[in-house]
Structure 1
Amino acid sequence: MGLMLRASGVSLSLGGHRVLHEVSLDVRPGELVALVGPNGAGKSTLLGVMAGDLPPDAGAVTLDDVDLAAWKHLELARRRSVLPQEHRLAFGFRAVDVVRMGRSPWVRTHREDDDDRVVAEAMQRTEVLEHAERIVPTLSGGERARVAFARILAQETPLVLLDEPTAALDLRHQDQVLAQARRLAVAGSAVVAVVHDLTIAAAYADRICVLAGGEIVADGTPAEVLDPELIGRVYEHPVDVLTHQGRLVVVPRRLHAVPPPDTEEGSWSVVR
């Protein structure tokens, strides 16, 4: 089976508040797992624990059956890459410099010979090659997010952890980034992504893992997990799950709709 990331009975409290409670999750090569759930469900915290950035209070996380804490930093950087929620830089790096940082684990190895090609391809795949010489703080939020994702692509690791990779992106680039994440999985990488849009998760994920209150309440294929009753209960808001062109679409019911300007009151209705 090769590389496997496994969280076993993971629990974690932050600031006296329980954020994760006995969470167990396996991630295998060749699959994209979407972590979904309402705000405060523990998605980003779980990703941080699985990345090795947050040590759990109980339970364990292993990579290839070796505890994450036992991995040397360089070897871990060659095995897994992590895209955080925020993309902050203290210095005025060019976009190409940021993407090239993804190649740092491969310094003084034979793979260093591929740096220029890999960096250019990563920027091409995320459509930021034209911004290569731009200073990153001058880019828009969405452009910075795509540069950060290009860095992940350039790192070329078999495990990829993405925390809200589509948060700052427009519709087109949301689709593009998840398509690239899907491409990584098809090529054999194990990919975990925190995703807020359930429809996008359904389109690209092999599995959807639903968190609520720091616990996993569902884990399965999109068709198995995206049940209107379950999703409505977890998000505390009713939804409809439709099929459009063979794909699942999750639509929240608009319970608090407001008539648009210049609309006669009698002509406006809300379907509940």
Structure 2
Amino acid sequence: MTLALTDVSADLGGHPILHGVSLEVVPGELVALVGPNGAGKTTLLSVMSGDITPTSGQATLDGVELHRWKVAALARQRAVLPQEQRLAFGFRAVDVVRMGRAPWARLPEEDLDDLVVAEAMQRTDVLGLADRSFPTLSGGEKARTSFARVLAQQTSVVLLDEPTAALDIRHQEQVLSEARRLAADGHAVVAVLHDLTVAAAHADRICMLADGRLRADGPPREVMTPDVLGEVYGHPVDVVDHHGRLVVLPHLIALTEEDPCASVLS
């Protein structure tokens, strides 16, 4: 399943957020959406999921506009990990993961529910939390449980909004390794990431947004240059190669008694 946006613009509350964004995500690749705060990353992911309909342009999955898909059919093709993990009731962790199987109810795939849920929880290191009430989990545990729900949904397209935000180093690597595994298995995976070094290490492709526009799109080594990053983020950086991995290092800001916002150290 190919996810394609063509000249997409989108508003929120009457305010324009996205402006003429075009990109395509194909099976077998992990795409990282990066950019400064307010660049439009979450809005773009919402357009990709079908939760927001563009004010102009087209967003399609398998050649069909997302707003034309039936809800249940779309839920069997794309899964979404939102930025915030909120539940109104005290469901157990295993019940939250099982929610990912809802689109397959009354279909032959339903017979695999128990197996799929257990495997998803194993892959995200939350099997030991199965009987815990979701609200009692830490932020990182909630994030991993919600990611397990996404895995259990078994969709062609996987959309992740800041999947590593609440995680320690080990679990960041675990989650992104699972995202890479999904891509290697033929899924189309999109992840909003703030850590540029992490994005460069795991993504096949970087889509960089600024002011609601796609400013760069390509392999990490082509997109993540000091000039591009400095312009988009409004701050100078160095990009170094560390054992074959790109590391992004922001320049430090020097503070002086005379001028608390003095200058940027190179």
When the two structures are superposed, what TM-score results if normalisation uses the length of structure 1?
Answer: 0.93
Alignment partner of 1:241: what SS?
A: strand
Q: Is the 8 A contact 2:45 2:159 kept in 1?
A: yes
2:20 equivalent to 1:22? yes
Inter-partner Cα distance in structure 2 for 1:115 and 1:257: 57
Match of 2:244 in 1: 246
Which amino acid letter does the alignment assign opposite residue 163 of structure 1? D
Deviation of 1:251 (Å): 1.0
Q: Secondary structure at the match of 2:76?
A: helix
Q: What RMSD in Å do the two structures reach over aligned CA positions? A: 1.2
Deviation at 1:64, TM superposition (A): 0.5
Contact 2:254-2:265 at 8 Å conserved across structures: no
Q: 1:70: which partner in 2?
A: 68
Aligned partners of 1:73, 1:15: CA distance in 2, in Å?
A: 24
Gaps of 5+ in 1: 259-269
Specify which of 190, 193, 216 is matched with residue 191 of structure 2. Answer: 193
Q: CA deviation at 1:254?
A: 1.2
2:144 match: 146
Amino acid at match of 1:160: V
Percent identity of paired positions between Structure 1 and Structure 2: 66
Cross-structure match for 2:3: 5
Q: Alpha-carbon deviation of 1:13?
A: 1.9
Q: Following the alignment from structure 1 to structure 2, what is the Cα–Cα distance between the partners of residues 130 and 12?
A: 42
1:120-159 matches, within 5 Å, as 120-159=118-157
SS in 2 for 1:184: helix
Partner of 1:265: none
Q: Distance in 2 between matches of 1:245 and 1:104?
A: 44
Q: CA deviation at 1:16?
A: 3.4
Aligned twin of 2:227 = 229
2:182 is the alignment partner of 1:184: yes
Count of aligned pairs = 259
Deviation track 1:96-133 (CA, whole Å, cap 9, x = no partner) reads 00000001111112211111111111111110100000
Q: CA deviation at 1:146?
A: 0.4
Letter in 1 for 2:122: Q
Unmatched tracts of structure 2, length 5 or more: 257-263
Separation (CA, whole Å) in 2 of partners of 1:4 and 1:76: 13
In structure 2, C-alpha distance between the alignment counterparts of 1:207 and 1:80, rounded to whole Å: 20
1:117 aligns with 2:115: yes
Taking structure 2 as the reference length, the TM-score comes to 0.95
Task: Tell me the CA shift for residue 56 of structure 1.
Answer: 0.9
Residues 1:257 and 1:106: Cα distance change in structure 2 (over 3 Å): farther
